Amino acid sequence: LGSGFGFDVEVHRGAGAFVSGESSALMTAIEGRVGEPRPKYIRTAVSGIWGKPSNLNNVETWATVPLIISKGAGWFAGIGTEGSKGTKIFSLVGKVNNTGLVEVPMGMTLRKVIFDIGGGVPGGRKFKAVQTGGPSGGVIPENCLDLPIDFDELAKAGSMMGSGGMIVMDEDTCMVDIARYFLNFLAGESCGKCLPCREGIYQMLKILNRICEGKGEEGDIELLEEISEVVKDASLCALGQTAPNPVLSTIRYFRNEYEAH
């Protein structure tokens, strides 16, 4: 472009492990090693890939940079909420008429995304819940549909922004089965490096399997909550720290379904 400045772009293809989406695991994968997270005693900006200062961002972030440069930071800051600026891309899927990738300003409500953009639930069925943030996101019920979509509000509701997943569920969806489904995925994707994540998720999954088989015991719900807090607090990386979200959020909003099992 005549700037006199050039650089090389190298593309590294990962092996597909979910945990390699975690920042430190991603760096070890780029270095050609097993994609395992490492303790973050030193910031990536000081020592990252191959021990060199590194700037790690999502493609979605890089895509916004040219627009901010051309239109100014004020333009970008004018979109969204006080604590969450700009827009966010979501993968809108599940029991909704219009599926696909949608880009919305931060602060738009779940109701507008699901019903105005998504066209609501097909077949005249009743909306029940939506999960945001990917496999380790939380489940949000109907009475929270007017929740503004931003980092803080989703966290308060027991979910997260995460990878931008948005799965809509209708009245026929069993919340206990949903929690088990996502926990089963996360158990398989745990790298096994730290004990709280490796063993904690496994034990939680055993309890959920038992509940879904109609063999639940008195105290199972409380035990799930107790193990969840340990896994959240003691896991090495974000996979383990967020893995209990599907369980905790479904217990929080749909405890009666656990008890009914």
**Over residues 43-72, mean pLDDT:** 93
Q: Does residue 63 surpass a pLDDT of 80?
A: yes
Spatial neighbors of 110 by CB under 8 A, at least 6 apart, are: 130, 132, 140, 144, 145, 146, 147, 149
Q: Does residue 1 surpass a pLDDT of 70?
A: no
Alpha-carbon distance of 162 to 142, in angstroms, equals 20
pLDDT at 219: 94
List the domain range (segments joined by +) for residue 3: 1-56
Residue 33 lies inside a defined structural domain of this protein: yes
Same domain, 156 and 229: no
Same domain, 36 and 7: yes
| Residue with the two structure tokens 């979509």 | 149
pLDDT at 22: 87
* Number of structural domains found in the chain: 3
pLDDT at 218: 93
Alpha-carbon distance of 70 to 211, in angstroms, equals 55
| Residue with the two structure tokens 């390699």 | 20
Same domain, 94 and 136: yes
Alpha-carbon distance of 77 to 106, in angstroms, equals 11
Residue 62 lies inside a defined structural domain of this protein: no
Residue 37 lies inside a defined structural domain of this protein: yes
Same domain, 46 and 101: no
Same domain, 149 and 213: no
The alpha helices in the chain, defined as continuous H runs, are 23-30, 59-71, 73-77, 110-111, 151-156, 175-189, 195-212, 220-234, 238-242, 245-260
